[in-house]
Amino acid sequence: MNTYFPEVKKIEYEGRDSSNPLAFKWYDKDQLVLGKSMGDHLRFGVAYWHTLKNQGADPFGESTMARRWNEYDEPLDRARATGDAAFEFISKLGVDYYCFHDRDLAPEGSSFAESCANLEAMVTHAKQLQQTTGIKLLWGTANLFSHPRYVHGAGTNPDYHVFAYAAAQVKQALAATQELGGENYVFWGGREGYETLLNTRMKQEQEQMAAFFRMCVEYARKIGFSGQFLIEPKPKEPTKHQYDFDSATILNFLQTYELIDYFKLNIEANHATLAGHTFEHELAVAAAAGKLGSMDVNRGDPLLGWDTDQFPTDLYSAIYAMLELLGTGGLGSGGMNFDAKVRRGSFEPVDLFHAHIGGMDAFARGLVIASAIIEDGFLEDFKKQRYSSWKGPGTAALAGRSSLENCESFIREHGEPQVPSGRQEYLENLINSFI
Ligand code: XLS
Ligand code: CA
Ligand code: CA
């Protein structure tokens, strides 16, 4: 396996003093952090669509990335070569997982039957590549947004015919994910949203989505799929109003339609910032509900209002994300998928390695720093002190055993509260002392 990236050897950990750009400085897979290996904490995955399929086209210009795995005329030959390139890349990077949309792995055919046959052929190919390399499938999903039939949505489409097509496509994608031992299955609501209320019945579309999810849950049960279902929030793009705006919106949707037991969330950093949140806020909301399932790691650009899907190199964001991860005790069957693409100007295949190495090192370093912060205990001690008044009558109030009258008596007895400082800058300075 040395066909598509002959200029790159297996990427090794060489430590922070190494000057080799094609080596890890921080990511040492077997290094123990709080009793667990880095590899097990982070569970990195490579995103098939950005890393193998993205060719750098943008609304103003054509592809910039000539990839040798695209030099085949027949779509299925190209798909097989792309699979070979994917597994060579992931093996050399030393990552254990990958993620795909059905249409990344196998091309859409000229009929539904042909699309299904293409997918089956590529599942056979991918299964064999998984067996030879030991690489596993973190999650599969269906692309229900690229084909023109989905212009008005998939599960939320006003036309039942399109709804049924999307459901039939998910049936195939779920079976493919199961066949490949996928540990999760993701639903990102590609065009599940709307542009204008003038032509949209919002309530009905949400009911449709709930019905769609219910059928997926039932089918998964029927075929014995044991992976975790994940929904991925995103506030806008491609539609102006996406129904899965953020974690809180999805949790409310799942509660309303009694689907909460079957799903967790896949939180993407760039989607969090598009929603006006931080990555760590979205992680914390999901974790507080016991629903943090997996992460799509990337970053946006603070000066741009769209989903730039850049590789994550911001150390502060990585530290804050790792504090949330360690606080929840891990991702279970989830992982950290690099839903990120190299910039259009970074068109050489080796740039794919630089990008992933940088992202893996950022989170490895973030993990080490976060674990030192946790071991030191200053954040926890500070919070403990900050909430220390919640005893006695506070405990009763929290447990629902108090009343406005009780609070009034308390105030008449104790008078005006002494309000302490939140000490934000002091805490930020302490964080910096760990870097
Ligand atoms: C797009 C999403 C998508 C999902 C999978 O913005 O991030 O790539 O992760 O469909
Ligand atoms: Ca994503
Ligand atoms: Ca994205």
Measured distance CA(348)–CA(336) in Å, rounded: 24
The CA radius of gyration of the chain, in Å to the nearest whole number, is: 24
Which residue segment(s) compose the domain that 147 sits in? Answer: 12-376
Residues 23 and 152 in one domain: yes
CB 180 within 8 A of CB 137: yes
Measured distance CA(138)–CA(115) in Å, rounded: 23
Please say if 84 is a catalytic residue.
Answer: no
User: What is the pLDDT at residue 428?
Assistant: 98
**Is 339 near ligand 1, meaning CB less than 6 Å away?**
yes
Nearest to 32 by CA among 364, 289, 270, 268: 364
CA of 238 to the centre of ligand 3 (A): 10
* Catalytic member of 28, 41, 50, 101: 101
The reply to whether 387 falls in a domain is: no
How do residues 123-133 score in pLDDT, each as one tens digit?
Answer: 999 999 999 99
Measured by CA distance, the residue closest to atom 2 of ligand 1 is: 188
Measured by CA distance, the residue closest to atom 3 of ligand 1 is: 188
Nearest to 254 by CA among 285, 284, 276, 223: 285
Residues 348 and 423 in one domain: no
Residues 233 and 318 in one domain: yes
The reply to whether 1 falls in a domain is: no
**Domains of the chain: total:** 2
Provide the 8-state DSSP code for 17.
T
The reply to whether 390 falls in a domain is: no
What is the distance in angstroms between the CA of the first residue and the CA of the last residue of the chain?
Answer: 39
The reply to whether 4 falls in a domain is: no
The reply to whether 386 falls in a domain is: no
**Is 186 near ligand 1, meaning CB less than 6 Å away?**
yes
Cα dihedral across residues 122, 127, 130, 136: positive or negative = positive
Q: Measured in whole angstroms, how far is the alpha carbon of residue 70 from the centre of its chain?
A: 27
Residues 27 and 170 in one domain: yes
User: What is the pLDDT at residue 257?
Assistant: 98
Nearest to 209 by CA among 151, 238, 250: 250
User: What is the pLDDT at residue 2?
Assistant: 79
| In 233-334, alpha helices (H) | 247-256, 269-274, 279-288, 315-328
Residues 169 and 299 in one domain: yes
Q: Distance of CA 10 to CAs 21, 35, 155, 387, Å?
A: 13, 27, 42, 49
The reply to whether 370 falls in a domain is: yes
Q: Which helix (H) or strand (E) holds 184?
A: strand 184-188
Q: Distance of CA 124 to CAs 67, 133, 206, 265, Å?
A: 23, 15, 36, 29
CA of 382 to the centre of ligand 3 (A): 35
Residues 420 and 334 in one domain: no
Residues 355 and 416 in one domain: no
**Is 232 near ligand 1, meaning CB less than 6 Å away?**
yes
Measured distance CA(69)–CA(83) in Å, rounded: 9
Helix (H, G, I), strand (E, B) or coil at 80: helix
Q: Distance of CA 399 to CAs 104, 285, 394, Å?
A: 50, 21, 9
Buried-exposed string 58-73: b where 16+ CB fall within 10 A, e elsewhere: eeeeeeebebebeeee
Residues 406 and 356 in one domain: no
Residues 105 and 148 in one domain: yes
User: What is the pLDDT at residue 1?
Assistant: 76
Residues 299 and 404 in one domain: no
Please say if 271 is a catalytic residue.
Answer: no
Q: Measured in whole angstroms, how far is the alpha carbon of residue 66 from the centre of its chain?
A: 27
**Is 307 near ligand 1, meaning CB less than 6 Å away?**
yes
Residues 419 and 340 in one domain: no
Kindly report the pTM of this predicted structure: 0.97
**Is 296 near ligand 1, meaning CB less than 6 Å away?**
yes
Residues 411 and 293 in one domain: no
Among the bound ligands, the one closest to the CA of 267: 2
**Is 268 near ligand 1, meaning CB less than 6 Å away?**
yes
CA of 188 to the centre of ligand 1 (A): 6
The reply to whether 128 falls in a domain is: yes
Nearest to 79 by CA among 111, 130, 118: 118
Query: What's the full length of the chain, in residues?
Result: 435
Greatest C-alpha distance within the chain? 83
Nearest to 319 by CA among 265, 283, 272, 277: 283
Measured distance CA(43)–CA(31) in Å, rounded: 14
Measured distance CA(138)–CA(11) in Å, rounded: 21
Q: 167: domain CATH number?
A: 3.20.20.150
**263-268 and 228-232: which strand pairing?**
parallel
Structure tokens at 380: 């926890």
- Strand-pair partners of 294: 266
**Average predicted confidence (pLDDT) for the chain:** 98
The last residue of a domain, from among 329, 345, 376? 376
Measured distance CA(178)–CA(135) in Å, rounded: 15
Among the bound ligands, the one closest to the CA of 273: 3
Measured distance CA(336)–CA(119) in Å, rounded: 25
The reply to whether 343 falls in a domain is: yes
User: What is the pLDDT at residue 247?
Assistant: 98
Structure tokens at 64: 């910039």
Measured distance CA(61)–CA(41) in Å, rounded: 40
Give the residues of the chain that fall short of pLDDT 50.
none
